Amino acid sequence: ETGVTQTPRHLVMGMTNKKSLKCEQHLGHNAMYWYKQSAKKPLELMFVYNFKEQTENNSVPSRFSPECPNSSHLFLHLHTLQPEDSALYLCASSQDRGLAGVYEQYFGPGTRLTVT
């Protein structure tokens, strides 16, 4: 248990569906992240939120839409996905100290997404 929870753990959706992934962190951190991990590939950073503001968007297609209503919750809204979007989606949080120092990330268990 890392203090970062993700729901659902598994999700199967059709290409025309709309669904959302939820992440919640109970660590008091101020930064949250979405990563994608496809089979036999490295983790790909998708989005970074710092103090609820999006600071990084790694050229992610618009069919993925993040939302960060507060520093404890992070959502990833999904619509009109493609089969190649099937992957493990991981959420992480950290305490970003800015220029004062680096930080470690705490990852959730992930959501295994299958797009049919």
Partner 1 sequence: LAKTTQPISMDSYEGQEVNITCSHNNIATNDYITWYQQFPSQGPRFIIQGYKTKVTNEVASLFIPADRKSSTLSLPRVSLSDTAVYYCLVFSSGSARQLTFGSGTQLTVLP
Q: In this complex, which beta carbon is closest to partner 1, that of residue 55 or of residue 116?
A: 55
Least distance CB 11 / partner 1 (angstroms): 14
Strands 111-115 and 10-13, sheet pairing:
parallel
Structure tokens at 48: 């970074």
Q: In this complex, which beta carbon is closest to partner 1, that of residue 16 or of residue 40?
A: 40
Neighbours of 78 (CB within 10 A): 20
Helix/strand/coil for 83: helix
Least distance CB 55 / partner 1 (angstroms): 7
Q: In this complex, which beta carbon is closest to partner 1, that of residue 81 or of residue 93?
A: 93
Q: What is the rounded distance in angstroms from the CA atom of residue 91 to the CA atom of residue 46?
A: 10
Backbone angles phi, psi at 101, to 5 degrees: 165, 165
Binding positions for partner 1, rule: CB under 8 A: 2, 4, 31, 33, 35, 42-43, 45, 48, 50, 55-56, 58, 88, 90-92, 96-110, 112
